[in-house]
Structure 1
Amino acid sequence: MSGIRDKVAVIGMGCTRFAEHWNKSTDDLLVDAAYDAFNDAGIEPSDVQAVWMGTKDSAISGTGLSIPLKTQYIPVTRVENKCATGSEAFRNACYAVASGAYDIVLAIGVEKLKDSGYSGLVPSSVYSDGTEPLFTAPSAFSLLAPAYYKKYGVDPKQGKEVLSRIAWKNHQNGALNPKAQYQNEISMEKIMNSPIIASPLGIMDCSGVSDGAAAAIIVRSEDAHKYRKDPMYVKALAIASGPNDGGMKQGFDFTSIKENVKAAEAAYKQAGITNPRKEIQMAEVHDCFTPTELVIYEDLGFSERGQGWKDALNGDFDLKGRLPVNPDGGLKSFGHPIGASGLRMLYEMYLQFQGKAGKRQLDNPNIGLTHNLGGFPWSCVSFVSIVGKELS
């Protein structure tokens, strides 16, 4: 599995603010993000030869994009892969360019959740034989925390501090980001005392619901400098879809998500990463809930097993820490318009590489990682990308 290391590059990106866009439609968000990307790349919409659009519920087919953008009979493919939907659009677009089928393509993700009444608390309807219990997302991911505390001997009171520290860190970062839904610093006290949603998770341990869109223009690497001097190169794209082992076996202990591990292993192999703790310089991960981010630290190799909670308290993943995680504020500050989140994460990598991240700018990063997780801890899809500022 060799992947497409350094074969494609991103030459333009766009991202709307993630917010409660009551005055904007799905079409508006698609147009805003797409034209931001066109302008950034210095191309015309007519230069795009194909499009991959990611959305969970906000469009049914390729016409969901071809109509608002008035694309002229080019292929538009609508994809969905749970919370990795935006990343899946990007992955498919990259492979299409790497194959030689197209020279320049658009990957775009969008979701309009607020008008739909979506809350994140009501379980989505899926086909089943009726024997599986229904879980809301908060209730499913709340199971990670007590399992982690028990396995690694963490006092629940200290565990609550760890989870709150993760939320605090992400809100600190989001306060520096004009495109985040929530742009306020939140005190540890307020986070720790927020109303319980699914014990031990309070409302401040949960990501919000928002609307948004993000887009990327992709070309072959050898063509990238025709458009700009500072493109972003794709090093690895990996996705793992689980067979529900965790849902079928009593031994699942809720302190690791196997799909995360498998996706990370594949991505690191493709990119030639042997020590992620030292080689990855920044990461955007799927902090749908604070214990999810804690488990991700260890699943992706940012922390040793059982040490992630200590590293979080020590500030290792803060903006000025050894490996900044969610420098843009993460899902915690942006909310989670499902089809857009993966591309929003890549947008932060792109800005950081170009030195355009403003007050949250890191010190000359060269390698970054993005991660999405969709489903429940015991049965999910996980995505990991590695992107870089320079060719290897």
Structure 2
Amino acid sequence: MNSHGISDKVAIVGMGCTRFGELWDRSTSDLLVEAATDCLKSANASLGDVDAFWLGTMDSGYSGLTLSTALKSRGKPVTRVENMCASGSESLRGAVYAVASGAYDVVMATGVEKLKDSGFSGLVRNDPPDDGTSVETTAPAAFSYLAPAYEQAYDVDPTMMRKTLSHIAVKNHANGALNPRAQFRTPVTAEAVSRSPLVAGSLGVLDCSGVADGAAAALVVRAEDAYKYTDTPMFVKALSVVAGNGYSILDDDASFASVPEVITCAADAYRQAGITDPRREISLAEVHDCFTPTELVLMEDLGFSERGHGWLDVLDGVFDADGALPVNIDGGLKSFGHPIGATGLRMMFECWLQFRGEAGPRQLKDPKIGLTHNLGGRPGRCVSFVGIVGKEPSDH
């Protein structure tokens, strides 16, 4: 991939994030106003300071009016984007590149989703007609393929796989229990996870992320202007998006033990950011744990574990809160919840809190570099996003 990157050219100087959950008493507008207001407050900025807005959402609004009517902005451009589960990250990418290009000085990226209002548990949308090659399965069914594929690829006993997946769920729920914004704040046991009612394949209810409402926002400026707004800006090191061609699912040689789009996307992000040893150079990672086997596979696709060793690293506690590389320290999709349009920005929000020392009981010791990852769609037919941010510019 021939992307040049914009490392340290743009900074995030303010962020806001609502609580995620079943927010029956809150509208889409309510959530956007809360996230945007908190974002502006953290940067000592006003709505009038913002030159342009980006909005990421899957189904909770169909134009920029969704944001402009909520914020009551006047005469400002609002770009609405959608890229499945990477919609929030796509919103941030648009905002960041708009500032980097010189088109605007101050831009706000937002993301929102009101999934619970659909009345269904899960994602409700009609896929457009295609050429007949797409596979019609639910999200849990599609991601359930990862576990047996991994077992077969690396000769992992199903009992050990179950132990590994349960560890991931227990870890993320323990992290989420310390997060006042998380959807689920009750720790779970490995036994409870392993015995939870089956949804698809070997995946039980507690292997699946939550269906939630929520919103998040970020204020973006040029790096040289960052300290005008805050003493602790967050510098963008890399943003990478890869869209698959959708046909790998038809390849007999393809394996669900890996997601090729993630490998390509991560390699591009690391090149942009100058990272050569992600496991040691990254302080924390927020990854798309829509289902427990997804997080396992991502540990290898993102280069945090050697091929076939991810499950061992999980069980050894490498990715625990006190491990060598904390993963989903805020609870992840699994515990924080997954309102599609807001998730990517929520991940950035955790890096923001950690760099500022504002993460409370889950605060890490002096984190420097954070990674966020989204996976939109399903294995074999997906998009991938990887973002890398830092507490300081590289020449600091």
1:165-213 Cα deviation digits (max 9, x unpaired): 0000000000000000001111111011000000210000000100000
Q: 1:226 aligns with which of 225, 228, 234?
A: 228
Shift of 1:130: 3.9
Distance, in Å, in 2 between the alignment partners of 1:379 and 1:215 is: 28
1:5-45 Cα deviation digits (max 9, x unpaired): 00000110000000101000000000000000011110011
Contact 1:55 / 1:338 at 8 angstroms: preserved in 2? Answer: yes
Map of 1:175 onto structure 2? 177
User: Partner amino acid for 1:381?
Assistant: V
Map of 1:72 onto structure 2? 74
Shift of 1:68: 1.1
User: Partner amino acid for 1:390?
Assistant: E
Shift of 1:121: 6.6
Q: Give matches, 1:270-285, under 5 Å.
A: 270-285=272-287
Number of aligned residue pairs: 392
Shift of 1:90: 0.1
Q: 1:21 aligns with which of 20, 23, 33?
A: 23
Map of 2:103 onto structure 1? 101
Moved over 3 A (4+): 121-124, 129-133
1:24-82 Cα deviation digits (max 9, x unpaired): 00000000000000111100111100000000000110011111101111100000000
Distance, in Å, in 2 between the alignment partners of 1:216 and 1:310 is: 36
Distance, in Å, in 2 between the alignment partners of 1:194 and 1:121 is: 21
User: Partner amino acid for 2:348?
Assistant: L
What is the TM-score normalised by the length of structure 1?
A: 0.98
Q: Gaps (5+ residues) in structure 1?
A: none
User: Partner amino acid for 1:328?
Assistant: D
Distance, in Å, in 2 between the alignment partners of 1:251 and 1:228 is: 51
Distance 1:298 1:229, change over 3 A: same
Q: Give matches, 1:71-220, under 5 Å.
A: 71-120=73-122, 124-130=126-132, 132-220=134-222
Distance, in Å, in 2 between the alignment partners of 1:62 and 1:118 is: 26
Supply the RMSD in Å over aligned alpha carbons: 1.0
Q: Which moved more, 1:129-138 or 1:207-216?
A: 129-138
Map of 1:49 onto structure 2? 51
Contact 1:285 / 1:370 at 8 angstroms: preserved in 2? Answer: yes
1:78-126 Cα deviation digits (max 9, x unpaired): 0000000000000000000001111101000000000112422767433
Distance, in Å, in 2 between the alignment partners of 1:150 and 1:218 is: 45
Shift of 1:129: 3.4
Contact 1:18 / 1:334 at 8 angstroms: preserved in 2? Answer: yes
Q: Gaps (5+ residues) in structure 2?
A: none
Q: 2:8 aligns with which of 6, 9, 13?
A: 6
Contact 2:283 / 2:326 at 8 angstroms: preserved in 1? Answer: yes
Q: 1:249 aligns with which of 245, 248, 251?
A: 251
Give SS of 1:364's match: coil
What is the TM-score normalised by the length of structure 2?
A: 0.98
Shift of 1:342: 0.2
**Identical aligned residues as a percent:** 61
